[in-house]
Amino acid sequence: MNVKLKNHFREGLFIFISILGAFALESYRESLLQVRLKDKLLNQLLITLNEDIKHMSEVNAKLDITLASAAILMQDHLSDNNKLNQEVLAKKFSDMRFMNLSFFPQQGVYNQLLASNSLENIENPELKKEIVYVYENLLKRIQAGDPILDEMRWKSFANLSTEIIVITTNDTKKTQQSNLPFAELKVDYFNISDSYYESEEVLNFYNQVILFISEYQKGLQNVEREFQEIIALLEQELNIY
């Protein structure tokens, strides 16, 4: 009887250990899969961030054109002599169409990190904190300025139509150098009123463009700096040297 009891005990213990081992093995397998998924998504995030930095650089280059044009036009408006040639003035005015060009970061990989809970599997807490800060805070603050620039552009151009009108079309002789949705344009027609240089609304428009674009670019500089910080932390997390 004792022998049978011992055999039953051994069999039960063996079954228990087998089940426990199976659970442990499955848990290890799941953990390994989660780590692999996390690393895969972080590698994708690394690629995305570098693409976004390149895109940001293109946006900044176009905003620089707007900023330079606004500065030239404001200086010309304030100057008592040496006024711009009207053709040059019209071209500079047309270049200000870039003023509401915005930076749109790719959010897909970050959303996947959240949905798959991979964010919690990041080993470096500083990396996790930095990613959450950038995507949940910094980028949303930057994007909050987009509607302001959009509204300012369309309202201002409409309001200034009594002082200056510039009509442009695509310049087929020039090749598009960027993926941004802005083709090279040439001025086909313009009309600058006799009261243009007396208009305080025109002067205020140029001043506001300079202020808003300058602040927006400062925000983009902050974003790029944080992106570079995330890239450095990602390379440490992924052991990329």
How many Cβ atoms are within 10 Å of 105's Cβ, its own excluded?
20
What span, in angstroms and rounded, lies between the C-alpha atoms of 92 and 90? 5
In terms of Cβ atoms closer than 10 Å to its own Cβ (0-12, 13-18, 19+), residue 41 is buried
How many Cβ atoms are within 10 Å of 187's Cβ, its own excluded?
19
Q: Which residue has the tokens 């994007």?
A: 143
- Using an 8 Å Cβ cutoff, are 214 and 36 in contact? no
The pLDDT, as a whole number, for residue 230 is: 96
Whether this model's pTM surpasses 0.85: no
Residue 53's alpha-carbon distances to 56, 57, 93, 213, 221, in angstroms, are 5, 6, 28, 18, 10
The pLDDT, as a whole number, for residue 102 is: 82
DSSP-based three-state secondary structure for 84 = coil
Over its length of 241 residues, how does the chain's per-residue pLDDT go in tens digits? 565 655 555 666 566 666 655 565 555 555 656 778 888 999 999 999 999 999 999 999 989 999 999 999 999 999 988 899 999 999 999 988 788 788 889 999 999 999 988 888 888 999 999 999 999 998 888 877 777 767 777 777 788 889 999 998 876 665 555 555 555 678 999 999 999 999 999 999 999 899 988 988 999 999 999 999 999 999 999 887 6
How many Cβ atoms are within 10 Å of 139's Cβ, its own excluded?
21
DSSP-based three-state secondary structure for 82 = coil
